[in-house]
Amino acid sequence: MKDNKTLTDKLGIALGLMALTACTTSTPEGDRTNNADTPTSPPPNNTNRPSTQAAASPNRDCILVEEGYGSQGQVAVQAEEVVSGLEVPWGILFLSDTDMLVTERPGRIRLVRDGQLQSEPVAIVPVTARGEGGLLGIAPHPEFASNRLFYIYYTADRNESSVNLVERWQLSPDGTSASPDKIIVDNIPVARFHNGGRLRLGPDGMLYIGTGDARNPQNSQDVNSLAGKILRVTPEGQVPEDNPFPDNPAYIIGIRNTQGFDWLNPSTLAITDHGPSGELGRTGHDEVSVASAGANLGWPPIYGCQNQEGMIPPALSWEEAVPPGGAAIYTGDAIPQWQGSLLMGVLGASHLHRVTFEPQSPDQVQSHEVYFQNELGRLREVIMGPDGELYVTTSNCDGRGNCPPDKDKILRINSGNP
């Protein structure tokens, strides 16, 4: 990878020159919680708290939710159990309307066939599952239907240390077994927390990889580090010629720990990101951002609704810890009121969050609301299925929730209207 010295110098200066502006505020009713997905340290006197008096910039407002999480959802919906008996299901790859591969963080790839969870794993991946590491995201090759290739993101021990990596695997013709094919991206920085892990196949046929800062905030601003980014590579793991940083897989930088993103349009992403949990004297301020190629989301020079030249503030942020899991743009017909909305799984605050964007200014949040508050527990993956329905996974057995006897589940979200 080439060293982008000019950008690095500018970012280094930015770390010391934090010009803060403000954001619009929202104070809806809601339960308060500090149950973030990462451990929270007691904050010292926080002199870097975002101002909340005005708009963040003339063209991009940030809504800061000062209390709670949002208003109660107004659309009638219900959650239908698809399968149970899973242990921290992290990602889903749909094989058909009724069949899917599911990753479990301890290292198992499971098969759901005809709506039934099969007892034997498709594969056992040699992961190290400490903290938030383990077997995480999964995504199909763009020609999966013909070549049966797919990608997984996982944490592995290597030479007495750990790495995160993205590896390509091949599913057997009958779907009951799989074997590794090749490493696509190697040596992604790892830590007990902040490992990212979401994989998505983009509308351009490229593989997008969400990574965390591996508990080193400065990684996020270093374009030559794979941590704290959304990476973009070809199906073979090469750097696309049109990536924003030459010869570099970095696509969007300045991320702390994303586990969810999806496309508002072929060139624009909606991204969920975890806010700080004690580092640099900061807490809370999880966020939803709208960004495109080459964007800098600002971590760690800015957080919450802060703004600085050359960095993009979020569209929505919460003072209280949320934090967000997976995310998907709703594209189905079953719940027509949700079309075009971002649906976001919420971990510590235990709900499904819906965000709508201004039609004429898609980087501006129009509204946001809460569904299933404290009804389903911690929600991790959120993804549209080939049947046009929204699917979510619970994460109640990850050591931070209340694990029920039937363990974690995959749920399908349906219209609540008769």
Would you place residue 15 in the very low, low, confident or very high pLDDT band (cuts 50, 70, 90)? very low
Which amino acid would we find at residue 13?
A: I
Question: Which one, of 342, 331, 205, lies nearest residue 266 by Cα?
Answer: 205
CB within 8 A of 322, min separation 6: which ones?
Answer: 36, 69, 275, 286, 346, 347, 348, 349, 353
Would you place residue 17 in the very low, low, confident or very high pLDDT band (cuts 50, 70, 90)? very low
In a 13 Å sphere around the CA of 371, the CA atoms on its Cβ side amount to 23
What mean pLDDT do residues 17-31 have? 42
What's this model's pTM, rounded to 2 decimal places?
0.88
What pLDDT, on a 0 to 100 scale, did the predictor assign at position 22?
Answer: 40
Proportion of the chain above pLDDT 90, given as a percent: 82
pLDDT of 103 strictly over 90:
yes
What mean pLDDT do residues 10-26 have? 43
How far is Cα 94 from Cα 107, in angstroms, rounded to an integer?
A: 19
What mean pLDDT do residues 15-26 have? 44
Cα angle: 344, vertex 82, 382; to 5 degrees: 15
Computed over every residue of the chain, the mean pLDDT equals 88
Proportion of the chain above pLDDT 70, given as a percent: 85
Per-residue pLDDT tens over the stretch 43-87: 333 333 333 222 333 346 899 999 999 999 999 999 999 999 999
What mean pLDDT do residues 356-370 have? 95
What pLDDT, on a 0 to 100 scale, did the predictor assign at position 160?
Answer: 83
Contact 286, 322 (CB under 8 A): yes
Per-residue pLDDT tens over the stretch 119-131: 999 999 999 988 9
Would you place residue 37 in the very low, low, confident or very high pLDDT band (cuts 50, 70, 90)? low
pLDDT of 42 strictly over 50:
no
The domain locations on the chain are 5-415
What pLDDT, on a 0 to 100 scale, did the predictor assign at position 217?
Answer: 97
How far is Cα 50 from Cα 281, in angstroms, rounded to an integer?
A: 13
pLDDT of 242 strictly over 50:
yes
**Which of 51-60, 64-73, 226-235, 407-416 is predicted least confidently?**
51-60
What pLDDT, on a 0 to 100 scale, did the predictor assign at position 31?
Answer: 32
What pLDDT, on a 0 to 100 scale, did the predictor assign at position 129?
Answer: 85
pLDDT of 111 strictly over 80:
yes
pLDDT of 418 strictly over 80:
no
Q: Bridge-partner residues for 169, per DSSP?
A: 150, 180
What mean pLDDT do residues 261-269 have? 97
How far is Cα 249 from Cα 42, in angstroms, rounded to an integer?
A: 36
CB within 8 A of 247, min separation 6: which ones?
Answer: 1, 2, 239
Looking at 2.40.30.10, 3.40.50.720, 2.40.70.10, 2.120.10.30, the CATH number of the domain 5-415 comes to 2.120.10.30
What pLDDT, on a 0 to 100 scale, did the predictor assign at position 130?
Answer: 87
Cα angle: 312, vertex 315, 320; to 5 degrees: 110
Say whether the peptide bond before residue 300 is cis (omega within 30 degrees of 0): yes
Would you place residue 191 in the very low, low, confident or very high pLDDT band (cuts 50, 70, 90)? very high
What mean pLDDT do residues 331-351 have? 97
Would you place residue 224 in the very low, low, confident or very high pLDDT band (cuts 50, 70, 90)? very high
What pLDDT, on a 0 to 100 scale, did the predictor assign at position 34?
Answer: 39
